Amino acid sequence: MRFSYQQVVLNRYKVTHALAAGSMGEVYLAQQIALEREVAIKVLQANAKGEHRKRFEQEAQIMASLKHPNIVNIIDYGVLPDNSPCIVMEYIPGRPLGHYLREHKALPWYQALHIMTQVAAGLDALHTHDFIHRDLKPDNILITMDEPHHVKLADFGVAKATNASPANTLNITLQGMLIGTPAYMSPEQLFGDEACKRSDLYAFGIIFYELLTGHLPNHPKNMNDLRKRMVTEFSAPKVPEHMPPLPERITKLILEDLLPSQPTRRISSTQHLLQKLAAISATSELGLDISTQVWEQREQLEESTTPEQSSIFFEPFTPPQTVLDSEAQYALQSEHNHPQKNLDPNLNRDDTHQEKTGGTDTLEWLKTHQN
């Protein structure tokens, strides 16, 4: 542990204990002395140089430009006596979504919808300000312990501005080359092509699928796995047999709008994504108005702000008591004959629709990008 108990940092924060540690730094819980509130302090290793230090500084700058309830807020930035830079952030009394998912496995669809709507809201704020996350995954999404869960996006260390010049982008990413976590990366990222906003949307689809099924779709997890699949077809993702069927609009959103291999065939933007989520909520028999609420707030905000200021302010939504019992939820779905669909795209495929996620379409696209 770098800091001792009650050690004062930057002359205004008193360290309580360590929260997490990694190869490049640590995160500590501390108290802001003047305001008597808890904060989190993220510290980079003192010997970190070049690319890692630039990314850390860039992360602080990106966080400072974003003010949104579904994004972790930055409070302060400074450099310690040993030359270690640190970011002081709001403390979220919760844990990463990845930890929550490993404990709970698959989530009921209405709970997954509640979580992913907030993720979409935070991602929309990021994209509205012309930033790409490039490493969206459950471990970079924080979720509060209390219910209804409040969600915040975190870790913008490899994020970049969409209007960044090629020279600046190259200086930061040259050594890393493969930027992100392979299991959540889009095909274009895995092949070293430039990431775009639709790359984040692909990662969003992977996470949504994982929340609903408890496992990742049949997606390449590293470069060796990707090369093996270059000579075979990607297997179509399927839902475990023990799972109850899912609402049709959710499976169509994931398979047809978020996970096509070609970026141009994915949903066009986070704004369009929020519209789709609103439609899912509006047509639910249980009256879930989570995403509808978010979308209406976005429209109201856009009427009163400039494009640079526009973002979504999501208020936590308390589900009605009728949705808290998963068995009752499934029974109600069956009673109302709610449209269901399996997450196997080959079973869902409309003969008039040419899109086929995860099949030969993916293979053909990958082959064209081998070189």
DSSP string, 43-88: EE-TT--HHHHHHHHHHHHHHHH---TTBPPEEEEEE-TTS-EEEE
Q: Which two tokens stand for residue 16?
A: 């309580």
- CA-angle at 72, arms to 3 and 216, nearest 5°: 100
| Under-50 pLDDT residues of the chain | 165-176, 230-231, 233-236, 285-293, 295, 306-367, 370-371
pLDDT for res 120: 98
Give the tens place of pLDDT for each residue, 271-322. Answer: 999 999 988 987 764 444 444 445 455 555 555 554 444 333 333 333 333 3
| Contact between 97 and 138 (Cβ < 8 Å) | yes
The confidence score (pLDDT) of residue 237 equals 56
Alpha-carbon dihedral sign for residues 156, 98, 359, 251: negative
- Our answer to whether residue 135 is catalytic in this structure is yes
Q: According to CATH, where is 1.10.510.10 located in the chain?
A: 94-368
Q: How far apart are CA 93 and CA 327, in angstroms?
A: 30
**Residue 76: what pLDDT?**
98
267 Cβ contact partners less than 8 Å away, ≥ 6 residues apart: 198, 201, 253, 257, 258, 273, 276
Q: Please report, as a single letter, which amino acid is at residue 90.
A: E
Q: 94-368 in CATH: which number?
A: 1.10.510.10
Ranges in the chain annotated CATH 3.30.200.20? 8-90
Q: Among 124, 135, 257, 361, which one carries the catalytic annotation?
A: 135
- Strands 13-21 and 160-161, sheet pairing: unpaired
pLDDT at site 338: 42
Pick one of 3.40.50.300, 1.10.3210.10, 1.20.1740.10, 3.30.200.20 as the CATH number of 8-90.
3.30.200.20
Q: Which tokens hold the place of 316?
A: 């936590």
Q: CA 105 → CA 99, 108, 195, 243, distances in Å?
A: 10, 10, 29, 12
- Please choose, from the candidates 164, 165, 188, the residue with its C-alpha nearest in 3D space to the C-alpha of residue 178: 188
| Amino acid in position 244 | P
